Amino acid sequence: MPAVLFGSISSLADTSELQRQAFNDAFSAYGLDWEWSRDDYRSMLGSNGGAQRIADYAAAKGADVDAAAVHAKKSEIFQSLLASSSISPREGVVDVVEEVKRSGQKLGLVTTTSKANVDALLSALEPHLDAGAFDLIVDLDKVSTPKPDPAAYAYALEQLGEDASHAVAIEDNPGGVKAATAAGIDCVAFPNENTAGSDFASAAETVNALDAAKVVGMATS
């Protein structure tokens, strides 16, 4: 049975600016005089892993920082921001979910963020979308290696009992696209407001809105 696999949580709802705000608020909470502008943040989105971004930035600044602790604070703030913000699914997401269900395909969410972040995002998206819509949700508790490593997608295919040739991924960032394609899965690049203009050359196509019939068709072709 074919499968449609959404990638990072910003492939469902554009949380990129909330993420950036959470980083900056975490820096302030730890007394760091850092503030990532949109241009700064965009330049970092070619790879995945917030803790690593903090560690790399600290190293470049010559600062001794507990990147894991700062990132944990960032996640706490991000989850709080999600709970207090009005967010909605991105254009075409609900249509894709409904078409997948209608056609009898499998639906997955394949992230390498924390389960707490996934839970917070899906809670914020109710009643438009909830965890019950997915046949499988992969998070950092399931795989230890973040994207762009293909481990999360390999795990998803194994758990769903699917072949890569019968799946399509939807990703909003270059690292996610690399992970999907490295796993042999055709990928639709669906950039968010901060990854628009990035290099998505390895994606099957890049779109501003999801076409449900086309996405489902790609999974069956």
Domain definitions of the chain by residue range: 3-13+89-220, 16-84
Phi/psi region, residue 167 (left: phi>0; alpha: psi -120 to 50; beta: rest), is beta
Q: What is the pTM of this model?
A: 0.94
Distance CA 175, CA 148 (A): 5
**Can you tell me the mean pLDDT for 47-72?**
91
What's the chain's Rg over C-alpha atoms?
Answer: 17
Say whether pLDDT at 14 is over 70: yes
pLDDT surpassing 70 at residue 34: yes
Position 134 scores a pLDDT of 97
pLDDT at 1: 75
DSSP the chain: --EEEE-SGGGTS--HHHHHHHHHHHHHHTT------HHHHHHHTTS--HHHHHHHHHHHHT----HHHHHHHHHHHHHHHHHHS---PPTTHHHHHHHHHHHT-EEEEE--S-HHHHHHHHHHHTTT--GGG-SEEE-TTT-SS-TTSTHHHHHHHHHHT--GGGEEEEESSHHHHHHHHHTT-EEEE---TTTTTS--TTSSEE-SS--HHHHHHHHH-
* Strands 136-138, 205-206: pairing kind: unpaired
pLDDT confidence band for 127 (50 / 70 / 90): very high
pLDDT the model gives residue 48 = 62
Q: pLDDT, tens digit, for every residue of 156-179?
A: 999 999 999 999 999 999 999 999
Would strands 3-6 and 186-189 be described as parallel, antiparallel, or unpaired? unpaired
Percent of the chain with pLDDT strictly greater than 90:
90
CATH domain 3-13+89-220 topology: Rossmann fold (3.40.50)
Domains 3-13+89-220 and 16-84 alike in fold: no
User: Topology of 16-84 in CATH?
Assistant: DNA polymerase; domain 1 (1.10.150)
Enumerate the β-bridge partners of residue 5: 108, 169
The overall average pLDDT reported for the chain is: 94
| pLDDT tens per residue across span 177-215 | 999 999 999 999 999 999 998 999 999 999 999 999 999
